Structure 1
Amino acid sequence: MCHVSNTLMSILNMGTLGISIILIFLSSSLPVCGDILKTPLLFFGVFLFTMSLFALIGLCCRISTLLWLYLFVLLLMIIGLFCFSVFSFIVTYKGAGKQVPDRGYKEYELDEYSGWLKKNVVNDKRWVKIKSCLSGSMLCMNSEPPNGNGNGNGGAVAKAAADANARGSDGGASEFYKIRLTSTESGCCKPPSYCGFEYQNRTYWTVPKGAQITQADDCRAWSNNQTELCFNCGSCKAGVLDNIKREWKQMSIILTCILVFLNIVYAVGCCALDNTRAYRYHRAYP
Structure 2
Amino acid sequence: MGVSNNITAFLNMIALLCSIPIIAAGLWLASKPGNECIRYFRWPILILGSLILLVSLAGFVGAYWNKQGLLAIYLFCMALLICLLLVVLVFAFVVTRPDGSYSVPGRAYKEYRLADFSSWLRNHITDSGHWIKIRTCLADSDVCTKLNQEYTAADQFFASLISPLQSGCCKPPTACGYSYVNPTLWTNPANPNADTDCYLWSNDQTQLCYKCNSCKAGLLGNIRNEWRKVNVILIVAVVVLIFVYIIACSAFRNAQTEDLFRRYKRDWVR
Root-mean-square deviation over aligned CA pairs: 2.2
In the aligned structure 2, how far is the partner of 1:143 from the partner of 1:106?
16
The structural deviation recorded for 1:142 is: 6.1
Unaligned ranges ≥5, structure 2: none
Check whether the contact 1:218–1:235 (CA below 8 A) recurs between aligned residues: yes
Q: Which residue of 1 aligns with 2:191?
A: 212
Structure 1 runs of 4+ with >4 Å offset: none
> In structure 1, which of residues 161, 170, 179 is the aligned counterpart of residue 152 of structure 2?
170
- 1:180 pairs with one of 144, 158, 161: 161
| Distance change in 2, residues 1:215/1:227 (3 Å) | same
Residues 1:143 and 1:10: Cα distance change in structure 2 (over 3 Å): closer
Gaps of 5+ in 1: 145-168
Shift of 1:57: 1.5
Contact 1:33 1:134 in 2 (8 A): yes
Alignment match of 2:137 (pick from 116, 133, 139): 133
User: Secondary structure of 2:202's match?
Assistant: coil
- State the distance in 1 between where 2:129 and 2:66 align: 50
From 102, 108, 119, the counterpart of 1:104:
108
Identity over aligned pairs, percent: 38
**Which protein is richer in helix relative to its size?**
2
1:229: which partner in 2? 208
Match of 2:6 in 1: 7
Distance of 1:29 and 1:75 partners within structure 2: 25
Do 2:5 and 2:66's aligned partners in 1 also have CA atoms closer than 8 Å? no
Deviates most, 14-23 or 185-194: 14-23
What letter corresponds to residue 74 of structure 2 in structure 1? Y
Q: Which residue of 1 aligns with 2:97?
A: 93
Q: CA deviation at 1:224?
A: 0.6
Q: C-alpha displacement at 1:44, in angstroms?
A: 0.5
Identify which of 82, 87, 97 aligns with 2:86.
Answer: 82
How far apart, CA to CA, are the structure 2 residues paired with 1:17 and 1:129?
A: 37
For the structure 1 residues 202 and 32, does the alpha-carbon distance in structure 2 shift closer, same or farther, using more than 3 Å as the test?
closer
Counterpart for residue 148 of structure 1? none
Q: Which residue of 1 aligns with 2:242?
A: 263
SS at match of 1:98: strand
- Are the equivalent residues in 2 in contact too, given 1:207–1:213 (CA < 8 A)? yes
Say which SS state the counterpart of residue 29 (structure 1) adopts: helix
Deviations 1:235-262 (A, max 9, x none): 1111111111111111111111111111
Q: What is the TM-score of this pair, normalised by structure 2?
A: 0.86
Q: Do the aligned residues in 2 keep the contact of 1:142 with 1:203 (CA within 8 Å)?
A: no
How far apart, CA to CA, are the structure 2 residues paired with 1:33 and 1:176?
21
Contact 1:33-1:133 at 8 Å conserved across structures: no
Q: Superposition pairs for residues 44-123 of structure 1, below 5 Å? A: 44-123=48-127
Counterpart residue identity of residue 59, structure 2: A
Report deviation, 1:187: 0.6
Is the 8 Å Cα contact of residues 108 and 161 (structure 2) preserved in structure 1? yes
User: How many residues align structurally?
Assistant: 257
Residue 89 of structure 1 deviates from its aligned partner by: 1.9
SS at match of 2:181: strand
Q: Where does residue 22 of structure 1 map in the other structure?
A: 21
Q: Could you list the per-position Cα deviations for residues 166-191 of structure 1 after superposition, in whole angstroms to 9, with x for gaps in the alignment?
A: xxx722x3343222222111111100
TM-score normalized with structure 1 length: 0.82
Provide the residue aligned with 1:278 in structure 2: 257
